[in-house]
Every structure is written in C-alpha cells, then in structure tokens.
C-alpha cells in the first residue's frame, strides 16, 4: 500500500498542478490607450428594474387580494 502511495503521489500532484494552472483567469483585453473606461451596465439595470417592478406588483396584488368581482 505504501509503495502504491509513493508511486501515485507525484503523478497526482503533477496532474492537479496542471489542472489548476489551466483554469487560471486570462489577462484582461487591451481596449486601447484610455485608462479609465466605464463598465458596461446598459441593459442589466433595465432587466433588474423590470423584475423589481413585477415583484412589487405581485406583492401589492397579494396584499390587497383580488378586487375583481366574479
């Protein structure tokens, strides 16, 4: 058993080192000369606001109940 561990431990260390270095984050792309560029936050805020409005409308609807007579 110890012979098996001594034989496979270096292989396991080598494989895990290669695996961990291959999933490293790549460097950021070079967008040009300008240093201070704004982050792209365009449609993400619109989606979040729409979802927040829908959630708020559902909470109001649930709190007041259905006011429509049948």
pLDDT tens for 1-60 read: 888 888 899 899 988 888 887 777 777 777 666 666 666 667 788 889 999 999 999 998
pLDDT for res 57: 93
DSSP 8-state symbol, 70: -
C-alpha to C-alpha distance for 2 and 8, rounded to whole angstroms: 10
**Structural contact between residues 52 and 44, judged by C-beta atoms closer than 8 angstroms:** no
pLDDT for res 67: 64
Of how many residues is the chain composed? 70
pLDDT for res 63: 86
């Amino acid at each position: 058993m110890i012979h098996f561990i001594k034989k496979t431990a270096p292989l396991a260390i080598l494989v895990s080192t290669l695996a961990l270095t291959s999933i490293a984050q790549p460097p950021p792309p070079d967008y040009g000369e300008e240093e201070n560029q704004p982050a792209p936050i365009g449609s993400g805020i619109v989606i979040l606001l729409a979802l927040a409005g829908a959630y708020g409308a559902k909470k109001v609807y649930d709190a007041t109940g259905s006011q429509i007579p049948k």
